[in-house]
Amino acid sequence: MNDIILNAVNGVLLVLVAATVVTCILLFVNKKLTRAYVFLGSSVFGWLNFAIVHKQLFDSMDNAVFIMNRKRQVVNINAAASKWLSLIGFSGEMPYSFELVSDCLNEKGSPINDSPLQSGDKVVVLQIGNELKVYTLAERQVTDGKGRVIGFYASLTDFTHYSKMISELEYAAEIDQMTGMANRRVYERKCVELDADENLPLSIIIADVNKLKKVNDKYGHQHGDELLKAVAGSIMGARPENAVSARIGGDEFVMLAPHCTSDEIYAIMEEIKASLDSKGNDLFVPSVALGSATKTSIEQDLRKLISEADKAMYQQKEYDRRKERQ
């Protein structure tokens, strides 16, 4: 196949050389011999240099590029494509249908259908050696000056690095950086996901840190941050395996626990309090006001139950304040 391409290129060059020679003859007839030699040299070597540069650029591309004719048969590939084909164990003599490459890609990889790319583009995860690689495959038409389709090309891009960056950004967008807990964004999503009959009874805990402002004002924000981390650690330590805990405000935390009865959620709150009592230091003893509610029927409005838990938490906070003043 490479011989066919080479012959085609040689044919084009011969036509160009012939046209150049004719031009030189005309210039010579007009007694412009010097210009003829200059034109001949610059034209021939110019086209040769163009072909060489074009080939070098094509092979230096990081993307694996497949050039196809109108029948979607692969007629040329660059060095990156040749290397990639050998990695996935594909072999074929051009011209071959690009569908064979696509089928091999689907067979050896795991397509991701909900990719954020242009319509028709694909994202595929492949195991290359010991590394999991993410590739994007884009196919486009090639048209002439009149808009007529004269062929196609496909470009395969190693998207692994960018995929990892996106995953890290998505993770960062859902994690409270100070405590390592989920944030309000996750909490709001889980309220929808867990509000289903198969998760009943579904219990909620609302927790509000006591005296955070006082600790910040008296001892500094560093100690305030330590207080928040202590509370977060106690909540996550008492969290059931299938429950979700999150920091949803400056001093406010929440837990959503599917398959958890009111008695079980009460025991969890007692465990949180006991854990905090053990974390006291010379400056303060961490504590929280806790409120809970349990959804036992799908007809119950989860948002109303969350409000009930919030109300119970504030009642507990007020009770603790009165008790402290006595």
Average pLDDT, the chain: 82
Angle at the Cα of 82 from the Cα atoms of 77 and 88, rounded to 5 degrees: 130
Residue 175 DSSP one-character state:
B
pLDDT confidence bin for 4, thresholds 50/70/90: very low
Give per-residue burial for 272-310: e unless 16+ CB within 10 Å, then b.
Answer: beebbeebeeeebebbbbbbbbbbeeeeeebeebbebbb
Residues 98, 66 contacting (CB under 8 angstroms): yes
C-alpha distances in Å from residue 104, one per residue of 17, 91, 100, 123, 284? 43, 10, 6, 14, 64
Checking if the pLDDT of 231 tops 70, the result is: yes
Q: Which residue has the higher pLDDT, 103 or 306?
A: 306
Is pLDDT at 246 greater than 80 in this prediction? yes
Round to whole Å and give the CA distance between 142 and 153: 7
Fold classified for 61-173: Beta-Lactamase (3.30.450)
CA angle 9-140-73, nearest 5°? Answer: 50
Task: Indicate the domain borders of the chain.
Answer: 1-60, 61-173, 178-325
Q: pLDDT at residue 39 above 70?
A: no
How many CA atoms does the CB half-sphere of 66 hold within 13 Å? 29
pLDDT of 269 over the 50 cut: yes
pLDDT at 31: 46
Estimate to the nearest angstrom the gap between the alpha carbon of 139 and the chain centroid: 21
Number of H-type helices and E-type strands within the chain: 10, 11
Assess whether pLDDT exceeds 70 at residue 38.
Answer: no
Confidence of residue 131 (pLDDT cuts 50, 70, 90): confident
- Taking Cα atoms as reference points, which of 261, 265, 258 lies closest to residue 194? 258
The DSSP string of 99-163 is HHHHHHHHHHEEEESS-SSSTT-EEEEEEETTEEEEEEEEEEEEE-TTS-EEEEEEEEEE-HHHH
Q: What angle do CA 30, 32, 38 make, to 5 degrees?
A: 140
Q: Is the pLDDT of residue 208 over 90?
A: yes
Tell me what pLDDT residue 290 has: 97
Q: Three-state SS across 264-309?
A: HHHHHHHHHHHHHHCCCCCCCCCCEEEEEEEECCCCCCHHHHHHHH
Q: What is the mean pLDDT of residues 316-326?
A: 83
> How high is the pLDDT of residue 88?
80
133-146 pLDDT, tens digit each: 888 888 899 998 88
CA atoms within 13 A on the CB side of 211: 16
CA nearest to 125, candidates 160, 165, 83? 160
Read off the pLDDT of each residue in 293-306 and give the average, rounded to a whole number: 96
20 pLDDT more than 50: yes
- Residues contacting 84, CB < 8 A, separation 6+: 64, 156
How is domain 178-325 classified at the architecture level of CATH?
Answer: 2-Layer Sandwich (3.30)
pLDDT > 80? residue 281: yes
Q: Read off the pLDDT of residues 154-189 as tens digits, 9 standing for 90 and up.
A: 988 888 877 677 777 777 889 999 999 999 999 999
